[in-house]
Structure 1
């Protein structure tokens, strides 16, 4: 099965991508992971991506597409894959269509994780990280520490990242709607999109996604 997962920041996309790929025994392909891999390998694609990332810039489409093209050409993707973080815009979506068409295949389904803006803001803006160990994460509403502002594991100070502040989250949502959401229109035209509510517990969302995949896969597609 060949899947694409799309959702706004704070939708739990990374968590669901890993669980879905594991459940379906297919490869989870994340652009962030691929960039790190190419950079570590010292490839030309990696060096190009690293220059942009270090400069705080978006990696150009041609570099991102090149990384994806190389990854999808590996034999371990033949049983299927789940794309997470690509495509980010309609131009990348068109490139992906071309890559898959040249192999005589296509996407089986596009899962759209839907979350209201207010929930996204609550999830992200409520996060607090430990300065001593960033792996210790709390939430002011859903998982507060016993002592406000203090990590329950090591006693370190809790703080809010600049990226997690409400104003920043709102800007990220605007970017998502402006650049990534149109990808959904691209795939709606192909009859591939199924929207899944990302509200509730992780397992509940996973169950909805698996049900949606069952529906999406009930009618075979011709590439």
Structure 2
């Protein structure tokens, strides 16, 4: 199928049937997320992959008891860095140098560009910037899941502070941004399963500048 067909197939699945997604497909979705573009390529976030049922029972109340939390095969929690530190930038430079087979000293200009951009931001702006990068990868993950015919639900409906507490994210320098349950739609119990996709018309959404 084409990407457009895949995107027409997908929808924000409200009920899932509990069927497990093969690990091969999970791995492909995770790899697509890993390869997603981010500013400077820094990837200022982590993705928690949660299959454990006991942990999901703890998550469900802070996600307002939405059924996908427990009916899904896996939960992906996208958690942004709360800050961008010099140590994190140095670790990224070391990774770039290793992968490209160059001396890390040759990346001084690149490091300076990242550090300078970060220093111009307030702590709140840094956190928001990191969250935006996580959302780029989140969108790529949704598209990858659709290509593999795995249902995925973009989920912001949760108590972020509560989820951070359940997952111990604060001690990791992270904060929860969004959740992506992965699984298979329960067509018998999801009223949206057969509903027609509704989007704004092309002529309203796009503005062509002459």
TM-score category by the smaller chain?
under 0.3
Task: Give the TM-score normalised by the residue count of structure 2.
Answer: 0.27
Q: Which has the higher contact order (CA 8 A, sep 6+)?
A: 2
Task: Give the TM-score normalised by the residue count of structure 1.
Answer: 0.26
